[in-house]
Structure 1
Amino acid sequence: MKTKSNLSGVFNFKTKAFTILLSCFLLLSIISCSKKAETATEENTNAIVTDTIQVAPANPPENFKHETATVNGIKIHYVIGGKGEPLVLVHGFGQNWYMWNRLLPELSKHFTVIAPDLRGVGESGKPEGGYDKKTMASDIHELVNQLGYKKINLAGHDIGLMVAYAYVAQYEDSVNKVAIMDALLPGVEPVWSSVSASAWWFGFFAWPASGDIVKGKEKEFLTNFWPVVGHVKEPFTPEETTEFIRAYAVPGGTTAAFKWFGAFPQDGKDNLIFMKKKIKTPLLAMGGEYFAAAFLKDHSKLVAENVTESKIANSGHWLVQENTAQVQKDLLDFFLSK
């Protein structure tokens, strides 16, 4: 069992505490003191002005297409392409479906890949509620059912990790394999209390006023936050940076996405019920060397029986971008193995 001190070391909180705190205060100062930008009209939610440049949603690879579906009474946007068994990829906070863009060409040679935008961000709906991961998992499940798939492979990063676990916990018979990537599960101890006590952004994002503070300053907010949990300097391409900012600048986007964090108390209660019965589905615990790799395997074993580990070298939290080649290889090795 890892101590709180050891876990703090995993995140470099002792060596980087001043940097993180300074980043926090700088971020809040920039946002609080800046003039709020004008928001786009409701009729123009698919074209957001960023730095005076009008930006449309990013295009997926040639063999993929944008689609939408109505599930649980809300719109869910997704991209789909490829051939073979379905593989559903669920993004996390600070990114949208486009976080998988580098992997889609190769993955689509082996799978029909479905990459949705979670409720609350981008072109997906932004309802008042339903941001607990149990409900968000049911969004994905209903989408999969509408597409006619009975059984899927599943991968989730960050918030998507939490949604992926909630999916398997509820619908285990419909999942072949699951990969959970660089985060942790609310309520699952001892890691949850140790990490959440140090991760200041958990509290800020869950604060009801945070959405109003960040509104109109999504670029300043995200570009200040990304380095806090990363390791590789500037891991995103200009196209990725532009798309992620655009997705959260869609009216209501950041406010709704923050509700993913506001739902953590309910998620913790749900997970304590889920973990009473460990999942048997093969699970890949994939963590960045400089972020979750030190604890994710042991953490996963508290909720799953069949756990394989992948430590992504020279990577922080944004492991898909920080070490694309190893992430792609390890995912393919896992999902294609018999």
Structure 2
Amino acid sequence: MTTALDNPVRDLPLPELPGFTHRWADAGGIRLHAVEGGRPDRPAVVLLAGFPQTWWAWRKVLPTLARRFHVLAIDLPGQGHSERPDGSYDTHTVAAYVHAAAEALGVSRYWLAGHDVGAWVAFSLAVQFESQLCGLALLDAGIPGITLPDAVPLDPEKAWKTWHFAFHLVPDLPEILLAGREREYVGWFLKAKSLSPSTFDDTEIEAYAAAVAANDGLRACLAYYRHAAESARKNHEALARQHLTVPVLGISGSHGSIPDMAASLRPWAANTTGIVVPDAGHFIPDEQPEAVAAALAAFMSEGDRY
């Protein structure tokens, strides 16, 4: 495990959350950042955020979970204060980094929850390392090959939720248009995809935009989408051998992107339950943190295999 002196993104401010400690782990040759807190003697839960956020997306959920669990919120490669490696960002490659980071931080068996791109990685981690997971929770995510539609819809009522998948795949053009305008781009996602436009204030938008812009972060964010086809291929290759048997919880927002996460996941994981969080858009942990924390705590308590 490395220290703050080895932070690979030193120019980016490092927000503090009372009761939690910043960690860096050697994860298979790259450095990943994590925030750790809670009760080390209790079951562990690993939380993964998505685009265009960082671990800070869980800041309102972490204190509640920390009362009963050992909690780790890990920045994905290319996200927040984690390294932005070259190479593939397919979710199986990234999942191996995340799992290595958890083990380096002393957690070999854990519950796993992911939102958005974090859910992409969480699903692929589960199909690779299922024996080391207690359960899996996935929040409002179009997971490549699993819950993601085969084509971007053209209906304006739906297209605004998924148009960026195709845009991010285009070589070079997103970088040309977005470099120097990360604040506007990130702000659009956070405002448009929340049920209430006041969910995120200017300070939060600027912090997330700074993380995307720092140290080639924009390239890394886009790489998850550019390698989505490989992620889908590897997911199906793994699921052809065996479907998931660990407990799975699908969490949807009443006004989110995937109306019924559980229904989308059941073909691949028989032991699946689902909830819909009222008064929430896509960014459920920010919009309804108490409901998310309660749902995760109940899920982990009911299915505790420790």
Using the TM superposition, give the Cα deviation of residue 194 of structure 1 relative to its aligned residue in structure 2, in angstroms.
4.6
CA distance in 2, matches of 1:239, 1:67: 24
CA distance in 2, matches of 1:98, 1:129: 26
236, 241, 260: which one pairs with 1:295? 260
1:178 aligns to 2:143 (yes or no): no
* 1:1-338 pair list within 5 angstroms: 45-48=9-12, 56-60=13-17, 62-83=18-39, 84-188=42-146, 191-195=148-152, 198=159, 199-209=162-172, 210-276=174-240, 277-338=242-303
Cα-to-partner distance string for 1:183-205 (whole Å, 9 max, x where unaligned)? 1221237x521557742100112
SS where residue 131 of structure 2 aligns?
Answer: helix
Cα-to-partner distance string for 1:227-285 (whole Å, 9 max, x where unaligned)? 33332222124443232122112120112111010011101111111222210100000
Q: 8 Å contact 2:152–2:163 — kept in the other structure? A: no
Q: 8 Å contact 1:275–1:302 — kept in the other structure? A: no
Cα-to-partner distance string for 1:194-224 (whole Å, 9 max, x where unaligned)? 5577421001122231134312221111112
The amino acid across from 2:163 in the alignment is W
The amino acid across from 2:225 in the alignment is F
Q: Which moved more, 1:87-96 or 1:76-85?
A: 76-85
CA distance in 1, matches of 2:294, 2:8: 39
Using the TM superposition, give the Cα deviation of residue 126 of structure 1 relative to its aligned residue in structure 2, in angstroms.
1.0
Using the TM superposition, give the Cα deviation of residue 311 of structure 1 relative to its aligned residue in structure 2, in angstroms.
0.2
Number of residues of Structure 1 aligned to a counterpart in Structure 2: 287
Q: Which runs of 4+ in 1 moved over 4 A?
A: 194-197
The amino acid across from 1:185 in the alignment is I
Aligned CA distance change for structure 1 residues 279 and 286 (closer, same or farther; 3 Å): same
Task: Report the TM-score, using the length of structure 2 for normalisation.
Answer: 0.88
Aligned CA distance change for structure 1 residues 75 and 212 (closer, same or farther; 3 Å): farther
Aligned CA distance change for structure 1 residues 267 and 258 (closer, same or farther; 3 Å): same
Using the TM superposition, give the Cα deviation of residue 180 of structure 1 relative to its aligned residue in structure 2, in angstroms.
0.4
Q: 8 Å contact 2:24–2:32 — kept in the other structure? A: yes
Q: 8 Å contact 1:71–1:139 — kept in the other structure? A: yes
Structure 1 unaligned residues grouped into runs of 5+: 1-42, 49-55
SS where residue 101 of structure 2 aligns?
Answer: helix
The amino acid across from 1:332 in the alignment is A
Using the TM superposition, give the Cα deviation of residue 287 of structure 1 relative to its aligned residue in structure 2, in angstroms.
0.8
Q: 8 Å contact 1:153–1:178 — kept in the other structure? A: yes
Cα-to-partner distance string for 1:50-71 (whole Å, 9 max, x where unaligned)? xxxxxx22112x2111111121
Q: 8 Å contact 1:154–1:177 — kept in the other structure? A: yes
RMSD: 1.9
CA distance in 2, matches of 1:69, 1:171: 19
SS where residue 192 of structure 1 aligns?
Answer: coil
CA distance in 2, matches of 1:104, 1:79: 10
CA distance in 2, matches of 1:217, 1:301: 39
SS where residue 123 of structure 1 aligns?
Answer: coil
CA distance in 1, matches of 2:90, 2:137: 20
Using the TM superposition, give the Cα deviation of residue 297 of structure 1 relative to its aligned residue in structure 2, in angstroms.
1.4
Q: Which has the larger radius of gyration?
A: 1
Q: 8 Å contact 1:77–1:117 — kept in the other structure? A: yes
Task: Report the TM-score, using the length of structure 1 for normalisation.
Answer: 0.80
Structure 2 unaligned residues grouped into runs of 5+: 1-6
